[in-house]
């Protein structure tokens, strides 16, 4: 995947279902297991976000040839990279469990999915139990990510402040430099300072001020959607209501990663017709002419349970909804960088090689400079060699520039 691919990382305690979720929404085949720390090395997979491609409105669909993903007559499927990391436990930022090196895997994520096990069958360390109340999991996980960033900042704080005073930098410039390892740009730091209402000089900041900064930075830099997973289990309803009452302003999506993965597997084996995110599937019994393999009694029973416990009750397995919720709440927009604004060809390739070859998903409100930074070597160059149209330097071609798109 290129550096500019939108990256979403799954976080959560061991056995919450992060790897199952990854396998459910991508073609990855990550190891899944009902014991803690099944995943040690991060797993990656590619999911697709469906958007309208501008090739359709210019009646040029036959020329559209995406470099990544694909375009089906104007319906474009843009790749999103999903990262699944090792489970985090309380104290992870201080090295407990498998330690804090795994937090480093999150540094370049554009957004996080916190996979929470609402079945109550695994404790905070991912060990099998009964009747566990998951309502504290959201707080402690956020605290661990907070502590990881806070400690990284505080370790170098005296030196940071000395240098800050010596070179007379602005607080935003100094903090951006300290946070550059998290792919942080100056506008992100400025926005964090504004939202946290921090105006005092950096050399007057105490630990509480740094905590306030980090808490806001976390929200701005690593926005999070929470997948309440294992809704197919018996205690799920009760725990879901508890969590929703406790956190009325969080973005929750109810999921059964296991069911989504199961349905995709049966589809690939020719037992059912099923499309990701749909509210039902078709079996040979439902439609004898569909060319599907017959089901034995055991499979029929399992599929009946899937309908009763998940699909009829919740409308879908929720896994695709997690991705669309991220795209909606972050106001992610597609941008199509082109070399030539008249024929939509790309840098370095003639129009005969196809048009609208690149599509980058970005959070709306991003500046051209930030975008060029995000694309770095690939589009940084495009940005500098952009066309002049009617006396105006046009750096980017974005769907936002097409009214009615
Ligand atoms: N009932 C049910 N079980 C699930 C669901 N998702 C995952 N599981 C089960 O939960 C267990 C843990 O799943 P994994 O995907 O390996 O969990 P993980 O979060 O990646 O765990 P670590 O790699 O140890 O951090 C497995 O036995 C899965 O089958 C679900 O939606 N419903
Ligand atoms: Mg795993």
Q: Which of 187, 192, 185 is nearest to 211 (CA)?
A: 192
- Both tokens of 85, joined, read 């990391």
99: left (phi over 0), alpha (psi -120 to 50) or beta: left
Please give the DSSP secondary-structure letter assigned to residue 319.
H
Q: What is the mean pLDDT of the chain?
A: 88
Q: Is the CB of 34 under 6 A from ligand 1?
A: yes
The counts of H helices and E strands in the chain are: 14, 11
Confidence of residue 372 (pLDDT cuts 50, 70, 90): low
Cα 254 from Cα 134, distance rounded (Å)? 14
Give which of 8, 257, 393 is closest to 382, Cα–Cα: 393
Mean pLDDT across 163-189? 93
The region of weakest confidence among 83-87, 119-123, 390-394 is: 390-394
pLDDT of residue 396: 43
Highest mean pLDDT among 16-25, 36-45, 388-397: 16-25
**Average pLDDT of the segment spanning 192-210:** 96
Average pLDDT, stretch 313-338?
92
Please give the average per-residue pLDDT across 312-338, as a whole number: 93
Q: What is the pLDDT of residue 392?
A: 44
Please identify which residue in the block is written with the tokens 């060699």.
385
Residue minimizing CA distance to atom 9 of ligand 1 = 17
Alpha carbon of 19 to those of 39, 40, 226, 255: distances in Å? 8, 11, 15, 13
pTM of the prediction? Answer: 0.90
Q: Is the pLDDT of residue 370 over 90?
A: no
Length of the chain: 405
Cβ–ligand 1 contact at 318 (below 6 Å): no
For residue 83 and ligand 1, the question of a CB distance below 6 A is answered with no
Closest approach atom of ligand 1 to CA 260: 31
User: By the 8 A CB rule, do 53 and 74 touch?
Assistant: yes
Residue 395 has, within 13 A of its CA and on its CB side, a CA count of 12
Q: Cα 365 from chain centroid?
A: 18
- For residue range 335-366, list pLDDT tens digits in order: 888 887 788 887 777 777 889 998 988 887 66
> Is pLDDT of 379 > 50?
no
Q: What is the mean pLDDT of residues 100-113?
A: 85
With a 6 Å cutoff on the Cβ, whether 18 touches ligand 1 is yes
Please say if the pLDDT value at position 367 is more than 70: no
Return the residue whose CA atom lies nearest to atom 27 of ligand 1: 34
Which architecture characterizes domain 6-134+223-328 according to CATH? 3-Layer(aba) Sandwich (3.40)
Ligand 1 within 6 A of CB of 256: yes
What is the C-alpha separation between 24 and 232, in angstroms, rounded? 15
Which pLDDT belongs to residue 100?
A: 66
CA distances from 223 to 71, 239, 240, 251, 397 (A): 28, 23, 21, 10, 26
pLDDT (0 to 100) of residue 345: 85
Query: Same CATH topology for 6-134+223-328 and 147-220?
Result: no
Please tell me if the CB atom of residue 4 comes closer than 6 angstroms to any atom of ligand 1.
Answer: no
Question: How far is the centre of ligand 2, averaged over its atoms, from the C-alpha of 12 (Å)?
Answer: 9
State yes or no: pLDDT of 389 exceeds 60.
no
| Average pLDDT of span 124-131 | 95
C-alpha–C-alpha distance, residues 24 and 27, integer Å: 8
Count of alpha carbons within 13 angstroms of residue 117, beta-carbon side: 28
Q: Is the CB of 257 under 6 A from ligand 1?
A: yes
Is 175 or 379 the better-scoring residue by pLDDT?
Answer: 175
CB environment 22-60: b (16+ within 10 A), e (fewer):
bbbbbebebebeeebebbeebbebbbbbbbebbbbebeb
> Which segments of 181-230 does DSSP mark as H helices, in order?
186-195, 207-221
Q: For the residues 39-57, what does the mean pLDDT come to?
A: 93
Res. 146: pLDDT tops 70: yes
Note the pLDDT tens digit of each residue in 232-254: 999 999 999 999 999 999 999 99
∠ CA(269), CA(270), CA(272), 5° rounding? Answer: 110
Q: Tell me, what's the pLDDT at 92?
A: 86
Q: CA dist 318 to 66, 214, 244, 287, 399, Å?
A: 28, 31, 16, 25, 28
- Nearest ligand 1 atom to the CA of 10 is 19
Task: Give the residue with greater pLDDT, 388 vs 174.
Answer: 174
**Coil, strand, or helix at residue 349?**
coil
Task: Judge if the beta carbon of residue 227 lies within 6 A of ligand 1.
Answer: no
Q: Which atom of ligand 1 is nearest to the CA of 32?
A: 16
Q: Kindly state the average pLDDT of the residues 156-181.
A: 96
Domain 147-220 classification at class level: mainly alpha
Q: Tell which atom from ligand 1 comes closest to the C-alpha of 34.
A: 27
d(CA 64, CA 336): 12
Is the CB of residue 87 below 6 angstroms from any atom belonging to ligand 1? Answer: yes
pLDDT grade for 375, boundaries at 50, 70 and 90: low
Residue located nearest, by CA, to atom 21 of ligand 1 = 15
Question: What is the CA(128)–ligand 2 centre distance, in A?
Answer: 15
Q: Which ligand is nearest to the CA of 24?
A: 1
All structural domains of the chain with their residue ranges: 6-134+223-328, 147-220
Q: Is the CB of residue 15 below 6 angstroms from any atom belonging to ligand 1?
A: yes
pLDDT at 401 (0 to 100)? 36
Q: pLDDT digit string (tens) for 274-315?
A: 999 999 999 999 999 999 999 999 999 999 999 999 999 999
Q: What's the pLDDT at 38?
A: 93
Residues with Cβ within 8 Å of residue 300, at least 6 apart in sequence: 283, 285
């Amino acid at each position: 995947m290129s550096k500019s691919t939108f990256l979403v990382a799954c976080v959560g305690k061991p056995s919450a279902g992060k790897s199952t979720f990854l396998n459910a929404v991508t073609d990855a085949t990550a190891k899944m297991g009902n014991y803690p720390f099944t995943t040690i090395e991060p797993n990656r997979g590619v999911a697709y976000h469906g958007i309208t491609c501008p090739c359709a409105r210019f009646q040029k669909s036959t020329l559209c040839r995406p470099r990544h993903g694909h375009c089906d007559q104007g319906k474009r499927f843009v790749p999103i990279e999903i990262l699944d990391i090792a489970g985090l436990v309380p104290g992870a930022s201080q090295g407990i469990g498998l330690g804090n090196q795994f937090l480093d895997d999150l540094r370049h994520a554009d957004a996080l999915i916190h996979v929470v096990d609402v079945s109550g069958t695994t404790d905070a360390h991912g060990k099998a139990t009964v009747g566990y109340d998951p309502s504290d999991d959201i707080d402690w996980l956020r605290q661990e990510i907070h502590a990881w960033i806070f400690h990284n900042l505080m370790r170098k704080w005296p030196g940071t402040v000395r240098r800050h005073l010596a070179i007379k930098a602005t607080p935003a410039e100094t903090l951006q430099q300290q946070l550059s390892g998290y792919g942080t740009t100056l506008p992100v730091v400025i926005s964090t300072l504004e939202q946290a209402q921090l105006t005092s000089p950096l050399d007057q900041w105490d630990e509480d001020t740094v905590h306030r900064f980090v808490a806001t930075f976390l929200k701005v830099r690593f926005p999070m959607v929470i997948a309440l997973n294992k809704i197919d289990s018996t205690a799920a309803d009760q725990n879901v209501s508890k969590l929703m009452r406790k956190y009325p302003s969080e973005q929750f999506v109810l999921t059964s990663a296991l069911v989504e993965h199961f349905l995709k597997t049966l589809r690939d084996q020719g037992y059912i017709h099923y499309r990701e995110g749909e509210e039902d599937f078709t079996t040979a019994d439902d439609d004898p002419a569909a060319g599907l393999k017959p089901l034995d009694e055991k499979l029929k029973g399992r599929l009946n349970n899937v309908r009763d416990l998940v699909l009829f009750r919740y409308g879908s397995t929720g896994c695709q909804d997690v991705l669309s919720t991220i795209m909606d709440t972050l106001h992610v927009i597609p941008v199509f960088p082109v070399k030539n604004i008249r024929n939509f060809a790309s840098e370095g390739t003639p129009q005969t090689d196809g048009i609208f070859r690149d599509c980058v998903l970005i959070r709306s409100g991003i500046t051209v400079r930030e975008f060029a930074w995000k694309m770095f070597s690939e589009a940084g160059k495009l940005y500098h060699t952009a066309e002049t149209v009617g006396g105006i330097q046009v750096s980017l071609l974005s769907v936002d520039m097409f009214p009615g798109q």
